[in-house]
Amino acid sequence: MSRLAFGSSIFDFFPRGGLGGRRCSRDSCATKTPWAGGVFEFRISNFELPRTPYSLLPPSHDIFWPVAEGIRIEFSDVAKRFDERVVFRSVSGVADPGEVLAVTGPNGSGKSTLLTILCGLLRPTRGEVRYRSLGGGGEVARDEWKRVLGVVAPAMSLYEELDAMENLRFFERVRGLDPAEHRCRECLDQVGLDPSRRTPVGGFSTGMHQRLKIAQAMLHDPQVLFLDEPGSNLDPEGRDWLESWVRESVAGGKTVILATNDPREMEWGTRRVALAG
């Protein structure tokens, strides 16, 4: 462990798992964040919580103050059944800005179903889901959820007769937004698809399909990301990029909810909901 004194505050750094997150009280806070090639827990004592994040070290170190704004997702006693089949009976949890909530469990345990409920595409049989703005905006209305979230999921369909640019424009218009061409190209470039932007998606490989799904999720810079098996069909280079993108999203104060059985992706989680099946 190493210690840094800053005014009346004391900063402790020591190894810990996960990609981000923090625990705060009135006069202390602990934040897990990537730093100097590893992941450390960043503890702060005797400080006043700032209104906005401040960087303490150069951006390459990804050290940041706790996020004072963003979207918190709270869900309590959520249950789902389809006819006679009970998927899960009572699931509760919270996902905060600057953290990754990992949803794990065996095949058929309901990971994708839970994410579909949390992003508002499926009603639970029982229970409540609430989005709260930590920047003073109060509760987010359900019909506004689609504007603050981005989704990557195996069940998401792309339009194979359209090219990559046309697919991105379509998804943005569904959200009620008007995408700028430069933003579409920027996202395609991030996922390595800009050279193929005018190629019909029907000619894409499965890995290129997954990259395009990620591009549409980031297009409107959402505050919440739902990632259902995001690394599926990606090559090793793509998986490395994916982890880097999730790290940047967490450091930027986004709320990330991840469904996975991949051991590498599980390590990203700062909180976990384990479904028994």
Task: Judge whether 225 and 149 are in contact, CB under 8 Å.
Answer: yes
0.85 exceeded by pTM: no
Token duo for residue 53: 């994040």
pLDDT of residue 57: 31
Res. 196: pLDDT tops 70: yes
C-alpha 67/C-alpha 41 separation (Å) is: 15
> Would you kindly state where each structural domain of the chain is located, as residue ranges?
2-61, 71-274
Task: Judge whether 65 and 54 are in contact, CB under 8 Å.
Answer: yes
> How does pLDDT run across 42-101, given as a tens digit for each residue?
333 333 333 333 333 333 333 344 455 899 999 999 999 999 999 999 999 999 999 999
pLDDT band at 4 (very low <50, low <70, confident <90, very high): very low
Res. 136: pLDDT tops 70: yes
pLDDT band at 277 (very low <50, low <70, confident <90, very high): low
Strands 271-274 and 99-104: what pairing?
parallel
Q: Which residue shows structure tokens 């099946």?
A: 277
C-alpha 267/C-alpha 56 separation (Å) is: 25
The arithmetic mean of pLDDT across residues 7-19, rounded, is 41
Averaged confidence pLDDT in the chain: 81
- Strands, E assignment, the chain: 2-6, 9-15, 22-24, 28-35, 38-45, 71-82, 85-95, 99-104, 126-133, 138-139, 149-152, 224-228, 255-259, 271-274
* % of the chain beyond a pLDDT of 70: 75
pLDDT of residue 43: 37
Res. 275: pLDDT tops 80: yes
pLDDT of residue 49: 35
DSSP 58: -
pLDDT of residue 209: 97
> How does pLDDT run across 225-257, given as a tens digit for each residue?
999 999 999 999 999 999 999 999 999 999 999
* % of the chain beyond a pLDDT of 90: 69
Task: Judge whether 94 and 128 are in contact, CB under 8 Å.
Answer: no
Res. 167: pLDDT tops 90: yes
Res. 140: pLDDT tops 60: yes
Half-sphere exposure of 82 (CA within 13 A, CB side): 5
CATH number of 71-274: 3.40.50.300
pLDDT of residue 19: 59
pLDDT of residue 11: 38
pLDDT of residue 135: 79
Q: For residues 166 and 8, which has the higher predicted lDDT (pLDDT)? A: 166
pLDDT band at 157 (very low <50, low <70, confident <90, very high): very high
Strands 138-139 and 149-152: what pairing?
unpaired
Res. 1: pLDDT tops 50: no
